[in-house]
Amino acid sequence: MRKRTKRNRKLKSYLLFGLVFTLVLIFLVSTVGRQEFSASHKLALELVGGLQSGVTRVVSAVRGGWDGYVALWGVREENYRLRGELQQAQADLVKYREAMANNVRLEKLLNLKKELAAPFLTARIVGRDPSQWFNTVIINQGTSDGVQMGMPVVSGEGVVGQVRNTSPHFAKILLANDPNSAIDVLLQESRVQGIVKGNGKGFDLQYVLKNNEVKEGEIVLTSGLGGVFPKGLVLGTVAKVVRNRRGMFQQIEVASAVNFEQLEYLVIILQEKSLTEEE
């Protein structure tokens, strides 16, 4: 009797496992094809995204406060040496430097905004991909702000990536340095075209024939082909060119213009119709 009960319990647990796996398979079949967020995904992103947004704000405030505290420390030591007279001057200097750095950053952003013909939207990064294999970020703008899947995302320095998934108030951005990202590009001087793919850290420029002359230091721009990114946005510079004996193409490494680790704010170009939508 006890043996049978034990067997029944074992059977029950296996049945549960089978059920869960079947559910997962159904889920996979229904979502993998479309690769779009379902209503439950959107709801979860809305809820957790709000939490992320709050935590990011707190972290920024703490970081700012800590930086300010450390800076104040430096100034105080300086003031000891200069018997208090230079205290105000030093503090002002730190403040002016910070203001100047801010000014330069905002000027870049403003210039970029002037250059962009399409309407744009500024967003803040509220969460980053915790995995080792993927490079995505979550931003605090979503479909209710006009963000749609496939829209290009840039910063003052250059191309950042494109919108991958959206919910009403948040969106997931696939960064250009992710191995799953590919962008049509053009070299500024030689006008050679190719495709830049992310390699996790930087970029690789692919499909450039060996008979093309490519110099190190050349600026890599978006070509406008493919319809996602407007033409002429900076992606980076050619860092290394290798011509192997075998194969048709050159191996070209591209140094990114954007420091992906230090990104805080992004600009989304609100195109009327994104490429993915047209498809």
Partner 1 sequence: MRSLCFLGLGVLLLVTQTTIFPALPAWIGKPDLLFILVIFLALRMPVFQGAVLTLFFGLLMDIFSGIFLGLYPVMYLVVFTVVQLIARQLAIGDAAYQIPLVVASYLFMNSVVFMGTTMLEPDEIMHWSWPDLLLRLLILAVMAMPLFFIFDWLMGWFDQGRPRWSPFGAARSVNRFATPARGRRPTAHPNRED
| Contacting residues toward partner 1, per CB under 8 A | 6, 9, 12-13, 16-17, 20-21, 23-24, 27-28, 31-32, 35-37, 40-41, 44-45, 48, 51-52, 55-56, 59, 63, 126-134, 136, 138, 164-165, 172, 174, 178-180, 197-201, 204, 261
Nearer to partner 1, 13 or 111 (CB): 13
Q: Shortest CA distance to 198 belongs to which of 269, 155, 130, 260?
A: 260
Q: Which residues contact 255 (CB under 8 A, 6 or more apart)?
A: 202, 203, 236, 237, 238, 239
Q: How far apart are CA 130 and CA 235, in angstroms?
A: 24
Q: Shortest CA distance to 231 belongs to which of 204, 271, 258, 266?
A: 271
Nearer to partner 1, 201 or 246 (CB): 201
Whether the CB-CB separation of 46 and 138 falls below 8 Å is answered with: no
Compute the least distance from the CB of residue 180 to partner 1, in Å: 5
Nearer to partner 1, 12 or 273 (CB): 12
At position 218, the amino acid (one-letter code) is E
Q: How far apart are CA 112 and CA 185, in angstroms?
A: 19
Whether the CB-CB separation of 121 and 104 falls below 8 Å is answered with: no
* Helices 39-81 and 87-115, packing angle to 10 deg: 150
Compute the least distance from the CB of residue 43 to partner 1, in Å: 10
Q: Which residues contact 243 (CB under 8 A, 6 or more apart)?
A: 210, 250, 251
Nearer to partner 1, 63 or 95 (CB): 63
At position 225, the amino acid (one-letter code) is L
Compute the least distance from the CB of residue 6 to partner 1, in Å: 7
Compute the least distance from the CB of residue 78 to partner 1, in Å: 26
Beta bridge partners of 128: 137
Compute the least distance from the CB of residue 91 to partner 1, in Å: 26
Nearer to partner 1, 28 or 106 (CB): 28
Compute the least distance from the CB of residue 126 to partner 1, in Å: 7
Nearer to partner 1, 206 or 237 (CB): 206
